[in-house]
Amino acid sequence: MLPESVKVPRVSIVDKVSLPAKKSAVVVVDMQNDFAHPNGKLYGPAAREIIPRIASLLEKARRAGVRVVYTQDTHYPDDPVEFPIWGPHVVKGTWGWQIVDELKPREGDIVIEKMRYDAFFGTPMDHVLRMYGIQHLVVTGTVANICVLHTVASARLRLYDVVVPIDAIAALNEFDYAAALRQMDFLYKVTLTTTEGVEFV
């Protein structure tokens, strides 16, 4: 039986993180219309709210010469794994599959299409990052306890240093958000900070 009330342990949040620009990448997880636009099939209002903060972080990163990587959740019309859980969403080539206009990739950015929650599973993500000498990842996007958490976990298991600005990730509810932060902090030893706290040198 589940307890009627669960108290989430406190997590450690640092004020400032300084990262080497040439060895760092900002990862934008699944900020697509189906998740972050009011007309999307699996719209979460919190995903819409973090768009300005991600945009601000991207501007800071690009000014410093930091590489920007997008993940794009990608499914085909008869996906037998996720559609029974979530219903059809982000079908390749549709409007819902596209990254929101406010965060459109720019020339030189990298877009990694992924079919599952983890951006490393079945994709060239690890190869691409290592090819460019990336050691530090700043992970943003949605959904905090699903695709963001699985991607963060996979990155840490591959020994990347991971920073997560807690004001630039979104979840479907407060419990899921808090649980994701707890797992990142306690289990994966991720550095938690804010978008303002991320510096590139």
Clarify whether 118 is annotated catalytic: no
**Which of 167, 140, 166 lies closest to 151 in space, CA to CA?**
140
Considering only the C-alpha atoms of the chain, give the largest distance between any 2 of them, rounded to a whole number of Å: 52
Interior angle at CA 109, CA 71 and CA 112, nearest 5 = 25
* Sequence-separated (6 or more) residues with CB below 8 Å from residue 145: 171, 176, 177, 179, 180, 183
Interior angle at CA 144, CA 141 and CA 149, nearest 5 = 100
Residue type, 55: A
Clarify whether 147 is annotated catalytic: yes
Kindly name the residue from 30, 73, 118, 161 that is annotated as catalytic: 30
C-alpha–C-alpha distance, residues 93 and 20, integer Å: 36
The backbone torsions φ and ψ at residue 188, rounded to the nearest 5 degrees and listed phi first, read: -105, 0
Kindly name the residue from 34, 114, 176, 185 that is annotated as catalytic: 114
Neighbouring-strand partners of residue 25: 67, 137
Read off the DSSP letter of residue 176. H
Neighbouring-strand partners of residue 99: 32
Kindly name the residue from 34, 73, 118, 147 that is annotated as catalytic: 147
Clarify whether 176 is annotated catalytic: no
The catalytic site residues sit at 30, 114, 147
